[in-house]
A and B are shown apart, each in its own frame.
Chain A
């Protein structure tokens, strides 16, 4: 029995939705509306004390780390296989997973930039006001991740430049890798591609200087190969919000 608590099909929610669709697994989908801060409700905090979205629940185990949840799915449901079997490729998969996911990885930096460069502009003013009021009601320690997001906060140029640099570093690494290989790990599409795609697919809009036909042709080709997959289309069709194309998960979520 699998349950997935997720938001819009973007970032790590997209990675897990894609994986479940690729593996054709039945699961109960619970939409958590992060703009309504449903992940901070008492009910959700019971499940995930740190308010993490997405959350995969498998046999009663609430899995808050997306990279490891994908590895769990690949090991628990090995057919068809979406992860390598040999230890060397498995190391590569895990190393990529760490660089892509987590607070130090690509994901959190994309998140920060997504909010600063796109989300705040895309949200209708009244919705944004309403949203900010909701955030202000959260306990203090849960608000820290938002400080860098608000446009009227002392926009920390250093922090944004640093986030762009980190994204650029990982993108460069991937572009180089894809010059010799069709996929992130080994010679087949895997959960590493699902995770990388989930974080990178919006970058040509968000950071056109960093990801584009000109500067990263290999990444663009790889994105196209993945976006043609039926499971990816299916996962992305689960959009609900009108501003979904530019939605980024909440900082510190």
Chain B
């Protein structure tokens, strides 16, 4: 019995969706609407007291650390393996899966400012405040409130853009040396980073483009061309899905950009 409580193919939420489509394993998909703060509702908190997405449950084992959950699922489920055999490559896979997307904290600032903030504010101030007040952890409440109201200064936004650019350059450097993050083969590290990076060429092309990050763009195209990626994005219900499908068309050469 495999159950996945998660949101879109985006950031941590996207990791189990991409992975399970790659693995070719059936699962029960429970859509948790982050834009309605469903992850902070009492019912969900019973499952995951931290109120984070995703939560993955396999045969009673409840997992809330998404990158580690993928490694568990890779070992526990049938299907192709996405973990290298060589211990050094495993080290690289874990390192990149954890530190290789650290820049996504910057991306999240920009995402809330431009995209998610306006979407959640559609519900109106009163409703928004009510939902924010329910967030159990004080620090997380402050962070969500800042994000939802998009009260970022121009300096914070510029720092965030610089953070994303630096992240892409770090990835570019790695992908100049090997085709995938762990080494020669596609692994969990690529899925984790892709779940965070998929929108960069479209939404943040100052950081990711053919001139300044050709190896990264080549990697991006290879991942976007994988059938499992298209399958995973089909689970989406927001405009995030459409922008990913636009990228799939560009990368697979189907239709004009």
Contact = CB atoms under 8 A, between A and B. Distances in A.
B61 interface: yes
Contacts of A75: 87, 90
Nearest to A97: B68
B68 A95 contact: yes
B115 to A, nearest CB: 25
Interface in B76-102: 76, 87-88, 90-92, 94-95, 98-99
Interface string A142-179: 00000000000000000000100000000000000000
Contact of B94 (A68, A76, A87): A68
Contacts, number: 57
A63 B96 CA distance: 12
Contacts of A102: 98
Interface string A39-68: 000000000000000000011010111001
Contact of B88 (A72, A90, A162): A72
B219 to A, nearest CB: 21
B91 A88 contact: no
Interface residues of A, number: 21
B249 to A, nearest CB: 37
A87 B71 CA distance: 8
A58 B75 CA distance: 25
B65 A76 contact: no
Most buried by A among B61, B71, B87, B99: B87
A90 B71 contact: yes
A71 interface: yes
Contacts of A71: 90-91, 94
Contact of A87 (B65, B76, B91, B92): B76
A58 to B, nearest CB: 7
A88 B61 contact: yes
A94 B71 contact: yes
B91 A61 contact: yes
Interface string B123-166: 00000000000000001000000000000000000000000000
Most buried by A among B90, B91, B94: B91
B72 interface: yes
Chain B at the A interface: SS class:
helix
A98 B64 CA distance: 12
B63 interface: yes
Contact of A90 (B72, B92, B98, B99): B72
Contacts of A68: 91, 94-95, 98
A91 B72 contact: yes
B88 A94 contact: no
B57 to A, nearest CB: 12
A50 to B, nearest CB: 10
A162 B63 CA distance: 26
28 contacts: A58-B88, A61-B88, A61-B92, A63-B91, A63-B95, A65-B91, A65-B94, A65-B98, A65-B99, A68-B91, A68-B98, A72-B90, A72-B91, A75-B90, A87-B71, A87-B72, A87-B75, A87-B76, A88-B61, A88-B72, A90-B75, A91-B63, A91-B69, A94-B68, A95-B64, A95-B68, A98-B68, A102-B98
Interface of A: 58-59, 61, 63-65, 68-69, 71-72, 75-76, 87-88, 90-91, 94-95, 98, 102, 162
Given A75-B87, A76-B87, A94-B65, 13 more contacts: A59-B88, A63-B95, A69-B91, A71-B90, A72-B91, A75-B90, A87-B75, A87-B76, A90-B72, A91-B61, A94-B68, A95-B64, A98-B68
